[in-house]
């Protein structure tokens, strides 16, 4: 209950602990309250989303709920103010795709990552230097989702596009 009443300092720590303990159910329940609370502002959810460890299948359902909440929050904001919130929507969709795939919801993951790619393509057309890296990473994940869906032809074309973009980026900003 402490991480519910005092979200800012404790919710992120609760994620870290829940990923490491044998019985995380009370922490997961408290985190679910924070995520599902409509009064939790999006600005407080962003750092929580960053905190979920990628290798934690135990927390995947909760991470997907958070990503769905973020997509739901960003979608109307991006409609009303695309210049400010569209990138947030794309990032939330990308995260949602990851967690949905981890949960075995491959069709939903494919839809989310395809939408993220569309947004990053649009953003890269406006600000090429800023959004090309995001587009390349998202294209890579789209290729993985396409391959998982058995769509090898589109997966190969997509990974080819991602590789070409990454080579272009490496040529302009080598390590």
Judged by DSSP in three states, 77 sits in helix
Distance between CA atoms of 146 and 91, rounded to whole angstroms? 19
Which whole number is the average pLDDT over 86-100? 96
Q: Considering only CA atoms, which of 156, 69, 155, 148 is closest in space to residue 107?
A: 148
For helices 106-126 and 128-148, the axis angle rounded to 10 degrees is: 160
10 phi and psi angles, rounded to 5 deg: -105, -25
pLDDT at 73: 94
Please name the residues in contact with 134: beta carbons below 8 A apart, sequence gap of 6 or more.
87, 90, 91, 120, 123, 124
DSSP letter assigned to residue 104: T
For residue 149 the two structure tokens come to: 């869906």
Position of tokens 């870290």?
16
Residue 2: pLDDT band by 50, 70, 90 thresholds? very low
Tell me the per-residue pLDDT of 124-168, one tens digit each, with 9 for 90 and over: 999 989 999 999 999 999 999 999 999 999 999 999 999 999 999
- Please tell me the number of Cα atoms within 13 Å of 71 on its side-chain side: 21
Residue 66: pLDDT band by 50, 70, 90 thresholds? very high
pLDDT at 22: 87
Residue 69: pLDDT band by 50, 70, 90 thresholds? very high
Distance between CA atoms of 71 and 84, rounded to whole angstroms? 15
């Amino acid at each position: 209950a402490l991480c519910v009443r005092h979200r800012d300092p404790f919710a992120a720590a609760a994620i870290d602990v829940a990923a490491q303990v044998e019985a995380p159910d009370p922490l997961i329940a408290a985190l679910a309250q924070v995520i599902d609370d409509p009064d939790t502002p999006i600005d407080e959810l962003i750092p929580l989303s960053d905190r979920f460890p990628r290798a934690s299948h135990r927390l995947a359902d909760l991470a997907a709920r958070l990503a769905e909440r973020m997509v739901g929050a960003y979608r109307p904001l991006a409609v009303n103010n695309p210049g400010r919130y569209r990138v947030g929507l794309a990032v939330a969709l990308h995260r949602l795709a990851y967690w949905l795939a981890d949960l075995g919801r491959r069709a939903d993951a494919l839809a989310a990552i395809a939408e993220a790619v569309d947004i990053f393509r649009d953003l890269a057309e406006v600000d090429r230097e800023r959004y090309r890296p995001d587009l390349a990473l998202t294209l890579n994940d789209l290729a993985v989702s396409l391959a998982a869906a058995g769509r090898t032809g589109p997966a190969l074309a997509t990974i080819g596009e991602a590789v070409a973009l990454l080579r272009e980026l490496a040529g302009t900003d080598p390590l």
